[in-house]
Amino acid sequence: MPNTSFKELLAPWYDAIPETPITGLTLDNRQIQPGDVFIAVQGHSLDARRFIPAAIEAGAAAVIADDGDTNGQFDVTLQNGVPVVAFPHLKSTLSEIADRFYQSPSKMIKVIGVTGTNGKTTVSQLVAQWIDLLEGKAAVMGTTGNGFLDALEPALNTTGSALDIQQQLAAFNHQGATHVAMEVSSHGLVQDRVKAVAFDAAIFTNLSRDHLDYHGTMEAYAEAKLRLFTHYGSPVSVINVDDPVGANWVSNMPEAVAVSLLEDNVLQHQGRKLWLTSVDYATSGVTISFDSSWGAGQFTAPLVGEFNVMNLLVSLTTLLGLGYEKETLMAAASKLQAVIGRMEVFHRADKPMLVVDYAHTPDALEKALMALRRHCDGKLWCIFGCGGDRDTGKRPMMADIAERLADVAILTDDNPRSESPEAIVADMLKGMVDPDQAIILHDRAEACGYAFENASEKDVILVAGKGHEDYQVLASGTVHYSDRETVRRLLEEEA
């Protein structure tokens, strides 16, 4: 834990501060340890400044608080002998304060930022796996947790608070990490949570409808993602140019590396590039041939689906950009593994193939179904739901996609939260041409069981929306539930 003084910590911004020794930073007054600095942020729903007296009573050595009504002026007062600094624009400066306290950990290890609507978790974990296979030591930060791949700890958000990020990076550095692959959400970018992170590489996977309840428009959502490439000076930028947003960006980014499944999409790019030349799909995975600014190559990896081909290619390209040898990367590819809950295959001889995927947006569901059609010799089943208290506009869109691309659509509950599950399904049914053909089973385990019992051994059943999650959020509260456990149980019961 760094030991410094309060004056030294805030020296770049304001110097009329006591030399008080400090030993930690926290945003939560309930976690105060003697010697900590309590950072009191004024949020939308909670003003943490009202907890300043409690933090001081718990042993806080100093307090940094949103400036409130000081009109952008710094100010220091003493409360029970403890210095309280009114700090203008605190939220947007928090990353830099934490970076200074933890002695710039992102400059000690290589940090790879991954942004996009879908694929962030898969790409970050593929990059980390590849590095581990080549004798590095990579950690990940994102949706499925933070830590090294064999010991992930749950994360509350895709991108944590500005303070959490710097603290986590410092911990990884202390634990000997050589690299960190970090999912970077649009919220995290807009809210400056990664403002002081020194990224060595930045990856754009794709952009499709999501988080419009926060950003308002697709243009604002895209602009948020673009910040990773325009505000951080990353030496390596890897862009999926099959996505129209990525293609537009790269036209103004000659230094970026363009990646595509089609050679025509990269021909005009003046900078480095990598593109698919052929792919073979099998139930055991994919064999990919490519050409690039680093030369041509071929490798096999045990992942399924076309979008995983892109995930593999952007991961490969990033590591090439970071200086890894092409032949070494290709040789290690066969040892890569599917990410839990991301197109994760569960299969046993003479039974339908079950695939658990996190797809919870229209684009992700469409891609998952199209990808699985290539692996399906019988009927393609789709079990999916939509979250409550979230973007209602995507509900009919997802039902339309399931009706068009699957042979059998089963509508079930996702995380209904405070909304009526029946009302959510009613919204979904509005997107279907023939809603009477849809099967409605609100209980997810029952929906999986129904599909498994009625599918043939040549069928493929996609269970979409929950992926790695092991909970379900109902109006009555959060309960334990896992699609992965349900699917495993179905296969074991038939064994």
414 is in an annotated binding site: yes
> Does residue 74 contact residue 87 with C-beta atoms inside 8 Å?
yes
pTM of the prediction? Answer: 0.83
300 is in an annotated binding site: no
Exposure b/e, 50-64, CB count within 10 A at least 16 = b:
ebbeebbebebbbbb
100 is in an annotated binding site: no
Alpha helices for 322-461 (secondary structure H)? 326-332, 362-373, 394-405, 421-429, 444-454
> Does residue 209 contact residue 228 with C-beta atoms inside 8 Å?
no
> Does residue 317 contact residue 201 with C-beta atoms inside 8 Å?
no
465 is in an annotated binding site: yes
Q: What is the pLDDT of residues 29-82, one digit of tens each?
A: 999 999 999 999 988 788 999 999 999 999 999 999 998 755 778 999 999 999
Question: Whose structure tokens read 């959502």?
Answer: 221
Amino acid at 458: K
Decide: helix, strand or coil at residue 77.
strand
Contacts of 492 (CB under 8 A, 6+ apart): none
pLDDT of residue 28: 94
Question: Whose structure tokens read 């334990």?
Answer: 480
Decide: helix, strand or coil at residue 23.
coil
Q: How far apart are CA 65 and CA 47, in angstroms?
A: 10
454 is in an annotated binding site: no
227 is in an annotated binding site: no
415 is in an annotated binding site: yes
77 is in an annotated binding site: no
118 is in an annotated binding site: yes
342 is in an annotated binding site: no
Q: Could you list the pLDDT tens digit for every one of the 495 residues in the chain?
A: 577 899 999 999 999 999 999 999 999 999 999 999 999 998 878 899 999 999 999 999 999 999 875 577 899 999 999 999 999 999 999 999 999 999 999 999 999 999 998 889 999 999 999 999 999 999 999 988 999 999 999 887 777 899 999 999 999 999 999 999 999 988 888 889 999 999 999 999 998 755 445 545 777 888 888 989 999 889 999 999 999 999 999 999 999 999 999 999 999 999 999 999 999 987 778 999 999 999 999 999 999 988 899 999 999 999 999 999 999 999 999 999 998 898 998 988 899 999 999 999 898 899 999 999 988 889 999 999 999 999 899 999 999 999 999 999 999 999 999 999 999 999 999 999 999 999 999 999 999 999 999 999 999 999 999 999 999 999 999 999 999 999 999 999 865
230 is in an annotated binding site: no
pLDDT of residue 494: 66
Q: What is the pLDDT of residues 300-339, one digit of tens each?
A: 999 998 889 999 999 999 999 999 999 999 999 999 999 8
The DSSP code for 335 is G
Q: How far apart are CA 327 and CA 296, in angstroms?
A: 10
121 is in an annotated binding site: yes
User: Angle, nearest 10°, between helix axes 362-373 and 306-321?
Assistant: 110
Q: Which domains does the chain have, with CATH numbers?
A: 4-88 (3.40.1390.10), 101-335 (3.40.1190.10), 344-493 (3.90.190.20)
390 is in an annotated binding site: yes
159 is in an annotated binding site: yes
Q: How far apart are CA 102 and CA 119, in angstroms?
A: 30
**Of residues 328, 337, 356, the one with CA closest to residue 284:** 337
146 is in an annotated binding site: no
158 is in an annotated binding site: yes
pLDDT of residue 211: 47
191 is in an annotated binding site: yes
416 is in an annotated binding site: yes
pLDDT of residue 221: 80
> Does residue 326 contact residue 83 with C-beta atoms inside 8 Å?
no
318 is in an annotated binding site: no
